[in-house]
Amino acid sequence: MMPAVKANAYGHGAIAVATTLQELGVTDFCVSAISEAIELRKAGITGQILILGYTSPRLFDQLVEQDLTQTIVDLPYAKELNKFGKKVKVHVGIDTGLHRLGVRSEEIEQIIEVWKLSHLQVTGVYSHLSVADDSDRNSVIVTRAQIEAFNEVVGYLKAQGLTGFKTHLQGSYGILNYPELKYDFVRPGIALYGVLSRKDDHTVAKIDLRPVLSMKARIECVKRLHQGEAAGYGLEYRAAGEQTIAAVSIGYADGVPRELSNRGHVLIQGKTVPIIGKICMDQLLVDISSVKKVMPGEEVVFIGNSDASSIQATEFAATANTISNEVLSRLGTRLERLVV
Ligand SMILES: *Cc1c(COP(=O)(O)O)cnc(C)c1O
């Protein structure tokens, strides 16, 4: 396993997640940016850390100093990194159709060139799938073609006598929908956190994913709202009758999408209550008329369990028209991460 702990481990807290995984025996990690890799090194992560994204030449010295592994995003980048003149570990990115980073798989001569750059030590070759999460016919055909293209590159490199590099291709949906594939590493992100991207996704491998994260805030203040009165910025919510409302200590700066204004819901004492009015930067309002005796300090659940009820990250995301990956990775730094 080479878990993806980028974006603060999908909002969970990269240091807490990576150190826990390291204690469990995981020695290889991937992140997106060098800043994330350095943060992990400072926190005592000692194994391989692969940077999946681009590192600016002004930070090349840090790659060496912190013993990081850099992705080769294309051949010119490989040449630039080689010019730095110090031994750097790299994984060569192969573009098999996502057309994001990596050398195009059919440009085999360009791929081979990387091995001729004397300061680069190639310890890995990898690609990334475009539609491994989709099970319709065309997506499966496209994915099979990507797998084939990757295998051809790896086969060609080995036929040239090149060895000493590891291979990897699958993120979460690659693992769950193409479980028969066998490369040296897998790069689980969202599934590592016990979550799929969408609630109704079906995967070939049936596995009991259990969410790692709950997201909670507290009631700050309870008050009456009289019929016809507005609540929140912009006069966008008006009381239809006498109501009890509460201010909750969390806002869009913490990762509650503003799109959930007048639309999302939360759990208090196991009951579902609506978010009312515009979500603010640091606060939001809920209508608690249906709940008895709500006190300041009481728990409000956005993701997770409250008595017998629960809200999944995928449900929270769907209400905001997005996937769990986005809402989790955008959870703000101000939210306290408690490891239970
Ligand atoms: C983010 C990322 C992953 C992890 O993706 P999930 O779908 O969350 O498992 C794996 N590989 C690469 C290259 C990525 O950018």
Average pLDDT taken over every residue of the chain: 97
Atom of ligand 1 at shortest distance to CA of 325? 8
pTM of the full structure: 0.96
> Per-residue pLDDT averaged across 12-17, rounded?
98
pLDDT digit string, tens, across residues 174-222: 999 999 999 999 999 999 999 999 999 999 999 999 999 999 999 999 9
Residue 35 dihedral angles phi and psi, to the nearest 5°: -60, -35
Spacing, Cα 187 to ligand 1 middle (Å): 6
* Band of pLDDT at residue 135, cut at 50, 70 and 90: very high
Spacing, Cα 263 to ligand 1 middle (Å): 30
pLDDT digit string, tens, across residues 239-290: 999 999 999 999 999 999 999 999 999 999 999 999 999 999 999 999 999 9
Answer positive or negative: Cα dihedral of 185, 187, 193, 198: negative
Ranges of beta strands (E only) in the chain are 28-31, 48-51, 69-72, 88-95, 103-104, 120-127, 166-168, 215-225, 243-248, 265-268, 271-276, 284-287, 299-306, 309-311
pLDDT digit string, tens, across residues 89-131: 999 999 999 999 999 999 999 999 999 999 999 999 999 999 9
Spacing, Cα 32 to ligand 1 middle (Å): 9
* Band of pLDDT at residue 30, cut at 50, 70 and 90: very high
* 30, 126, 175, 325: residue to mutate for ligand 1 pocket, most atoms within 8 A of CB: 30
Q: CA distances (Å), 281 to each of 204, 247, 299, in order? A: 40, 12, 19
* Structure confidence at residue 295 (pLDDT): 95
For ligand 1, residues with CB inside 6 Å are 4, 6, 52, 128, 171-173, 187-191, 325
pLDDT digit string, tens, across residues 34-55: 999 999 999 999 999 999 999 9
CB 41 within 8 A of CB 66: yes
DSSP state of 272: E
- d(CA 51, CA 29) in angstroms, rounded, equals 9
For the annotated catalytic residues, the residue numbers are 6, 233
> By alpha-carbon position, which residue is closest to atom 6 of ligand 1?
189
